[in-house]
Structure 1
Amino acid sequence: MPKLLLASETDTLDLNEIADKGLGYQAVTGVTGFGLPPVSVQWLEGAGDGATFRRRRVLTRDIDIRLEILARDRQHLQELTDRLALALDGRCTLTLLDEDGTRWTVEVFRTGGGDYSYGVDTIGEREFSTVITFRSEDPYWTSSEAQFRYVGGSTANPFLSNLAQVEVSASQAIGEIQLDNRGTAEAYPVWEIIGPGRNFLAVSPKGERLAWSGRLTADERLIIDTRKGTVVDQGGANRYAELEEAPRFWTVKPGLSTATAQLEDISAASKITCSWRPRKWMVI
Structure 2
Amino acid sequence: MPRLQLESTVDVFDLDDALRKGRGVQALSGVTGLGLPPVSVQWLSGAGDGAIYRGRRVLPRDIDLPLLLEAPDRAELQRLVNRLAVMLAEPCTLRWVEDDGTSWTTSVVRVGGGDYGFGVDTIGETDLLIVITLRAGNPFFTYSVPTRKMIGEQAVIRGLLAGSLTTMNVASSQAIGQIQLENSGDASSFPVWEIVGPGRDFKATSPTGEVLYWRGVLGVGESLFLDASLGTVVDNLGRNRYGELAPAPRFWGIPPGTTTATVSLEDVIPESRILCTWRPRKWMVI
- How far apart are 1:48 and its partner, in Å? 2.2
Counterpart among 223, 226, 248 of residue 224 in structure 1: 226
**Alignment correspondent of 2:205:** 203
**Equivalent-residue separation in structure 2 for 1:51 and 1:149 (angstroms):** 43
Matched, 1:132 2:132: yes
**Equivalent-residue separation in structure 2 for 1:162 and 1:269 (angstroms):** 17
**Equivalent-residue separation in structure 1 for 2:65 and 2:91 (angstroms):** 16
3-state secondary structure, aligned to 1:218: coil
Normalised TM-score (structure 2): 0.94
- How far apart are 1:45 and its partner, in Å? 1.7
1:226–1:249 contact (8 Å) kept in structure 2: yes
**Alignment correspondent of 1:14:** 14
Alignment of 1:228-243 (within 5 A): 228-243=230-245
Q: How many residues align?
A: 280
Alignment of 1:1-284 (within 5 A): 2-122=2-122, 125-154=125-154, 161-284=163-286
- How far apart are 1:219 and its partner, in Å? 0.8
1:164-204 CA-partner distances (Å, limit 9, x unpaired) = 24233110001210011111001001000111111111111
Q: Which amino acid aligns with 2:71?
A: A
Q: Which runs of 4+ in 1 moved over 2 A?
A: none
Structure 2: tracts of 5 or more residues without a match: 156-161
**Equivalent-residue separation in structure 2 for 1:53 and 1:272 (angstroms):** 39
- How far apart are 1:215 and its partner, in Å? 1.4
**Equivalent-residue separation in structure 1 for 2:258 and 2:138 (angstroms):** 24
1:208–1:250 contact (8 Å) kept in structure 2: yes
Q: Which amino acid aligns with 1:60?
A: P
In percent, how many aligned pairs have the same letter? 55
**Equivalent-residue separation in structure 1 for 2:124 and 2:151 (angstroms):** 61
1:44–1:52 contact (8 Å) kept in structure 2: yes
- How far apart are 1:242 and its partner, in Å? 1.1
Tell me how large the CA RMSD over aligned residues is.
1.5
Q: Which amino acid aligns with 2:249?
A: P
Distance 1:49 1:161, change over 3 A: same
1:151–1:175 contact (8 Å) kept in structure 2: no
2:190–2:278 contact (8 Å) kept in structure 1: yes
**Equivalent-residue separation in structure 1 for 2:42 and 2:239 (angstroms):** 40
- How far apart are 1:124 and its partner, in Å? 6.3
3-state secondary structure, aligned to 1:153: strand
**Equivalent-residue separation in structure 1 for 2:276 and 2:239 (angstroms):** 20
- How far apart are 1:246 and its partner, in Å? 1.8
1:232–1:238 contact (8 Å) kept in structure 2: yes
**Equivalent-residue separation in structure 2 for 1:111 and 1:103 (angstroms):** 24
- How far apart are 1:89 and its partner, in Å? 0.9
Q: Which amino acid aligns with 1:94?
A: L
**Equivalent-residue separation in structure 1 for 2:125 and 2:174 (angstroms):** 71
Identify the range of structure 1 (90-99 vs 2-11) with the bigger mean alpha-carbon deviation: 2-11
Structure 1: tracts of 5 or more residues without a match: none
Distance 1:124 1:221, change over 3 A: farther
